[in-house]
Amino acid sequence: MSSGQVFNIQRYSMHDGEGIRTLVFLKGCPLACLWCSNPESQQIGPQLGFIESKCTGSESCNAPCVPACPVNAALYLTEQGKPCIDRTLCDDCGRCAEACPHDALKVVGREMSVSEVMAEVEKDRIFYRRSGGGVTIGGGEPMLQYDFATQLLRAAQEEYLHTALETCALVSWEHFNKAVQYTDLLYIDLKHIDSQKHKALTGQPNEVILNNLRQVLSLKSAQDVVIRVPVIPGCNDSVDNISQTAKFVAKLGFTQIELMPYHKMGVAKYAQYGMTYSLDELQATGESELQDMRDLVERFFDLKEVSGLY
């Protein structure tokens, strides 16, 4: 069995599938969505983060992180006695994090085998059985590590666990179809129906994604697939885009579409990883506006399986 990069395993989750679930987040993503709430998931390898609020400064701990860094000038102290990471030199080795006595520095992402991940998943089997839950593989984008993700899904099904996969479906059909065969519930994101606008918002066009959507119902029943649309003010929340997206999804035969309201829960993490959040001025979508979009989407479906849950 292969191994892969995992950046979080979240137990006792009550979303992203039925019942109590364990969410396994794989690292790396081919997209760079402007509103991404998990910036630490974008890079496929380990990544050093700095939580400044936890740092007490050199006067308190003598800054052991600075001499621990093996890269010349990768860490230096500000006038306040706090470390500043030179991202052009840092190789994310994590030596400084090991030296930090306050957990202000941390490396996100570690290599795990299928058996190691499954050992964590198995800890809550009793809760899955009682609640109808299981394991959900997400990211980042799990299909960037398609072989590892497929093996995880297969291993879970072999242990009679319910499986769910969260994906943007930007992967070849050859690889996607293998993963889908071991997936009981499939969540597919559709960021924008127009390919050029999709590329402007995410860094990639959407032709591969749309092609996979056209083919996936040859493997799964419509009730086992949920199309997710993140509603981002000023980006993809126009009447035209919501209408065209709903029309496309309904014509293919899907019966479930989930509108996910914009939020800013991940904004603080950008600074931790030396990144800049470009949509800082956006405000969350109002409930009345979201309901108008739900009503609009429902017009294209015979079954009203439209929700705004997130």
Which residues make beta-bridge pairs with 227?
188, 257
Which amino acid belongs to residue 204? Q
Q: What is the pTM of this model?
A: 0.91
Same domain, 54 and 37: no
Same domain, 102 and 207: no
DSSP string over 89-136: T-----HHHHH-TTS-EEEE-EEEEHHHHHHHHHTTHHHHHHHT-EEE
Same domain, 101 and 120: no
- CA angle 173-4-52, nearest 5°? 115
Cα–Cα distances (Å) from 259 to 7, 50, 202, 298, 309, in that order, read: 26, 33, 18, 11, 7
Which amino acid belongs to residue 248? F
Q: Which CATH number is 86's domain given?
A: 3.30.70.20
End residue of a domain, out of 57, 84, 107: 107
> Quick check: 282 and 229 in contact, CB under 8 A?
no
Same domain, 119 and 183: yes
Same domain, 145 and 281: yes
Q: What is the pLDDT of residue 72?
A: 66
Same domain, 205 and 301: yes
* Overall average pLDDT of the 253-274 stretch: 92
Mean pLDDT is lowest, of 21-30, 162-171, 266-275, for 266-275
Same domain, 247 and 100: no
Same domain, 114 and 210: yes
* pLDDT tens figures, 272-286: 999 999 998 898 888
Same domain, 88 and 171: no
Residues 103, 104, 110, 114, Cα dihedral to 10°: 50
Q: Which helix (H) or strand (E) holds 68?
A: helix 65-68
User: Model confidence at 294, in pLDDT bands (50, 70, 90)?
Assistant: very high
Same domain, 145 and 246: yes
Q: What is the pLDDT of residue 309?
A: 34
User: Model confidence at 293, in pLDDT bands (50, 70, 90)?
Assistant: very high
Domain that holds residue 97: 47-107
Total count of domains within the chain: 2
303 has a pLDDT exceeding 60: no
* pLDDT tens figures, 8-18: 999 999 989 99
End residue of a domain, out of 55, 72, 107: 107
Q: What is the pLDDT of residue 82?
A: 74
